[in-house]
Amino acid sequence: GLALERPAETRIFTVSNQKGGVGKTTSTVNLSAALADQGFNVLVIDIDPQGNASTALGIPHSADTDSIYDVLIDDLSLADVVADCPDVDGLSVVPATIHLAGAEIELVSLVAREQRLQRALEEYFRHRESQGQERLDYVFIDCPPSLGLLTVNAFVAAQEVLIPIQCEYYALEGLSQLLNNIHMIQKHLNPVLRVSTILLTMYDGRTNLASQVVSEVKEHFAEEVLSSKIPRSVRIAEAPSYQQSVISYDRSSSGALAYLEAAAEIVKRSN
Ligand code: ADP
Ligand code: MG
């Protein structure tokens, strides 16, 4: 059985930060793997044209793979494109392909352009129920480093935003723009959306800079910031090239333990 309680309803997280390289994909992959490891049913939706989350989780995503692109643009069902992660039981993945790069523009002229992911997810939940499949506990949507229509679709589909913040110079730069966008989404498209979780990534406790960033983030986000910080770790960086999460790549590493702790904190906050 589960040591941790299942959420009362599926918790849907958008993992977003308009900066690249801050740990969005790494955190999506490893938090999802950590939650699946604890027995939860988890879905990752890759909506970054780079498809890094798909790659890291060992999911094929060559140009001819049916993907989130076909769901958003051609009304394919999520059930038709979802794949089981070979590395982690209980984790399934909706892959992204390079076609998604064009979706940002193609979406503009489509009906309900901001709601397409939300509708696809709702339909998928009903589909799973009709198939007698267990309810999903957690969904993580890995966003591109931009605030275009793909990210808007993710914000509309989610209840929670998880913002990874890299413990580096300029960590908070541009964050107010992200928060403004989230505020706009709350006002016009998704009133339940909230920034529930801030995750500090690539933390190096030996530097003054890192602790400065931590206290600055705590000043702004006292409630939201997780107390588990993700350390800078070679194991975390290496794992994707073996198409493994760091949890299965090196379970006793500091990086794996940090993601397991962060996942447990996220679980406890729901109840
Ligand atoms: P984003 O999705 O925000 O662009 P990534 O998750 O792809 O960022 O991370 C950017 C790079 O940093 C990747 O090469 C990744 O392997 C590396 N990385 C992420 N987190 C860590 C960490 N805690 N320790 C070491 N390297 C990391
Ligand atoms: Mg990424």
Whether residue 6 lies inside any domain: the answer is no
Whether residue 5 lies inside any domain: the answer is no
Residue 89 vs residues 10, 51, 134, 152, 215: alpha-carbon distances, Å: 18, 21, 14, 30, 37
CA distance 18 to 170: 13
Q: Give the residue from 13, 41, 32, 267 showing the smallest Cα distance to 133.
A: 41
Residue 246 has pLDDT above 60, yes or no: yes
Residue 1 has pLDDT above 60, yes or no: no
The CB of 20 under 6 Å from ligand 1? The reply is: yes
CB atoms within 10 A of CB 206: 9
Q: Which atom of ligand 1 is nearest to the CA of 142?
A: 2
CA distance 140 to 134: 17
Q: What angle do CA 261, 266, 271 make, to 5 degrees?
A: 125
Whether residue 4 lies inside any domain: the answer is no
Whether residue 236 lies inside any domain: the answer is yes
The CB of 42 under 6 Å from ligand 1? The reply is: no
The CB of 21 under 6 Å from ligand 1? The reply is: yes
Q: How far does the centroid of ligand 2 lie from the alpha carbon of residue 48, in Å?
A: 7
Whether residue 2 lies inside any domain: the answer is no
pLDDT digits (tens, 9 = 90+) for 144-164: 999 999 999 999 999 999 999
Place of tokens 């793979």: 65
Q: In the prediction, which pLDDT does 169 show?
A: 78
In the predicted model, what is the mean pLDDT of residues 18-47?
Answer: 97
Under 8 Å between Cβ of 157 and 193: no
Mean pLDDT value across the chain: 95
Q: Please state the ipTM of this predicted complex.
A: 0.99
Q: In the prediction, which pLDDT does 171 show?
A: 82
Q: 3-state class of 78 per DSSP? A: helix
Q: How far does the centroid of ligand 2 lie from the alpha carbon of residue 100, in Å?
A: 14
H/E run at residue 197: strand 194-201
Q: Which atom of ligand 1 is nearest to the CA of 17?
A: 3
Average the pLDDT over each of 66-75, 122-131, 172-181 and give the range with the smallest value. 172-181
Q: Give the residue from 140, 166, 149 showing the smallest Cα distance to 20.
A: 166
Q: What residue numbers bound the domain in which 146 lies?
A: 11-270
Q: Tell me the ligand closest to 229's alpha carbon.
A: 1
Whether residue 3 lies inside any domain: the answer is no
Whether residue 120 lies inside any domain: the answer is yes
Query: Tell me, what CATH number does 105's domain have?
Result: 3.40.50.300
Residue nearest (by alpha carbon) to ligand 1 atom 17:
237
The number of domains in the chain is 1
The CB of 166 under 6 Å from ligand 1? The reply is: no
Whether residue 219 lies inside any domain: the answer is yes
Q: Tell me the ligand closest to 51's alpha carbon.
A: 2
Q: How far does the centroid of ligand 2 lie from the alpha carbon of residue 29, in Å?
A: 10
Q: How far does the centroid of ligand 1 lie from the alpha carbon of residue 21, in Å?
A: 6
pLDDT digits (tens, 9 = 90+) for 90-137: 999 999 999 999 999 999 999 999 999 999 999 999 999 999 999 999
Residue 26 has pLDDT above 70, yes or no: yes
Residue nearest (by alpha carbon) to ligand 1 atom 1:
21
